[in-house]
Amino acid sequence: MVLLDEISARIQPLDEGAMQAARTRHDQLTKPPGSLGRLEELSIRLAGITGVPCPVLRRKTVIVMAGDHGVTAEAVSAYPSAVTAQMVMNFLRGGAAINVLARQAGARVLVVDAGVASELGSHPGLLQRKVACGTANIAHGPAMSRAAALQAINAGIEAVTLEIERGVDLLAVGEMGIGNTTPSAAIAAALTGVSIDTLVGRGTGIDDVTLAHKIDIVTQALEVNQPDQRDPLDVLAKLGGFEIAALVGAILAAAAGRLPVMLDGYITGAAALVAVGIAPQVQPYLLASHRSHEQGHQAILKALGLQPLLELEMRLGEGTGAVLTMYLVEAAVRLLGEMATFTEAGVSDRG
């Protein structure tokens, strides 16, 4: 098992030399300086992440972490927990939204079973690293032990390490777990101090009565578990999910491997809060794909210091927003690397 201090020690600052080279090249390209706006900023950031002045990001993967939650017993979701396993099988058959968008982006889909409550069998697109058949009910006690949280984190580290060995250039992270907006809201409340009313949203589309009940359950979970804000691993173990912990590991491993990591929405944002709490140097490696329609995502993005690239009122999860944004990320680096300079094109620069 990889120790957290070991993986954290591998995460290096962004490469300032590569970023300066990217800035210099942008100033020489056949366009007014800064005219590509945030695409220029994005390509410079990607140069710093990868350590390459003109990075090439063509081998793409989305890792979808899956796990079930004991808190679904509190009726906080519009769907039963059995849907987690059913949707994982849909992913593996290629029939979900994430599969459609991944095919369009040319991205590989890898599903990791970190804690689904059903046995899923074997499949080439499935990495089986089940810690347990779902977490315990956070409304009545800790979701998992500290050791189990570390085991799930390690599953995420392993999944990303395997993709790095396959030569991946750009990583997106997503999740599947009925009920997981509830533990995500609890994690966000514990780590940001933002009010629970602000952070708890409608998830899969619950009504007003269920929303009020969900707020009560998150409040109860925080009161029962008393997570230590100074210890992100304690917050994760007491309030989180196995797929959320696996996302934490994936984020840490991506940064350690100088991989840009595209966050999806609310749940991946909660995992990023934990990852940044463990290793603050992770933050520059994070890219916010979109602002979820889920209430509270903006508060998470603000806490992470991230500005999303898109706002399409999406709240599906699965990594859909992250994969959809891969086009913009690839476009940013292709503009940097493939546009002609004024000299190359024989175009007059500014006087």
Query: Do the domain assignments include residue 309?
Result: yes
Query: Using DSSP, how many helices (H) and how many strands (E) does the chain show?
Result: 16, 6
CATH number at residue 77: 3.40.50.10210
Distance CA 176, CA 99 (A): 13
Distance CA 6, CA 306 (A): 26
Phi, psi of 172 (to 5 degrees): -115, 145
Per-residue pLDDT, 242:
98
Per-residue pLDDT, 246:
98
- Burial category of 68 from C-beta neighbours within 10 Å (exposed 0-12, middle 13-18, buried 19 and up): buried
Per-residue pLDDT, 2:
66
Helix runs in 62-207, H state only: 82-93, 97-105, 146-165, 181-192, 196-199
Query: Do the domain assignments include residue 350?
Result: no
Per-residue pLDDT, 204:
83
CATH number at residue 23: 1.10.1610.10
Which structural domain range is residue 217 located in? 60-328
Q: Do 287 and 145 reside in the same domain of the chain?
A: yes
Query: Do the domain assignments include residue 202?
Result: yes
For residue 138, the one-letter residue type is I
Q: Which residues contact 108 (CB under 8 A, 6 or more apart)?
A: 60, 61, 62, 102, 168
Q: How confident is the model at residue 351 (pLDDT cuts 50, 70, 90)?
A: low
Q: Half-sphere exposure (CA, 13 Å, Cβ side) for 104?
A: 15
Per-residue pLDDT, 1:
61
Q: Do 154 and 267 reside in the same domain of the chain?
A: yes
The secondary element (H helix, E strand) that includes residue 225 is helix 208-225
Query: Do the domain assignments include residue 351?
Result: no
Q: Do 50 and 76 reside in the same domain of the chain?
A: no
In this predicted model, what pLDDT tens digit does every residue of 78-109 receive, in sequence order? 999 999 999 999 999 999 999 999 999 999 99
Q: Do 12 and 93 reside in the same domain of the chain?
A: no
Cα dihedral 121, 126, 132, 133, rounded to 10, equals -60
Q: In what order do the strands lie in the sheet with 60-67?
A: 126-128, 107-115, 60-67, 170-176, 261-263, 286-288
Neighbours of 6 (CB within 10 A): 11
Q: What percent of the chain is predicted at pLDDT more than 90? A: 96
Q: Do 104 and 243 reside in the same domain of the chain?
A: yes
Q: Do 73 and 209 reside in the same domain of the chain?
A: yes
In this predicted model, what pLDDT tens digit does every residue of 252-283 receive, in sequence order? 999 999 999 999 999 999 999 999 999 999 99
Per-residue pLDDT, 231:
97
CB 188 within 8 A of CB 299: yes
First-residue to last-residue Cα distance in the chain: 59
The pTM assigned to this predicted structure is 0.97
In this predicted model, what pLDDT tens digit does every residue of 123-152 receive, in sequence order? 999 999 999 999 999 999 999 999 999 999
Residue 201 has pLDDT above 90, yes or no: yes
Q: Do 300 and 181 reside in the same domain of the chain?
A: yes
Q: Which residues are catalytic?
A: 318
Quote the number of domains for the chain: 2
Q: Do 287 and 200 reside in the same domain of the chain?
A: yes
Q: Half-sphere exposure (CA, 13 Å, Cβ side) for 7?
A: 27
Query: Do the domain assignments include residue 103?
Result: yes
Q: Do 71 and 206 reside in the same domain of the chain?
A: yes
Query: Do the domain assignments include residue 252?
Result: yes
Q: Which residues contact 1 (CB under 8 A, 6 or more apart)?
A: 150, 151, 154
CB 317 within 8 A of CB 310: no
Per-residue pLDDT, 274:
98
Mean pLDDT (the chain, rounded): 96
Query: Do the domain assignments include residue 105?
Result: yes
In this predicted model, what pLDDT tens digit does every residue of 288-331 receive, in sequence order? 999 999 999 999 999 999 999 999 999 999 999 999 999 999 99
Q: What percent of the chain is predicted at pLDDT more than 70? A: 99
Q: How confident is the model at residue 349 (pLDDT cuts 50, 70, 90)?
A: confident
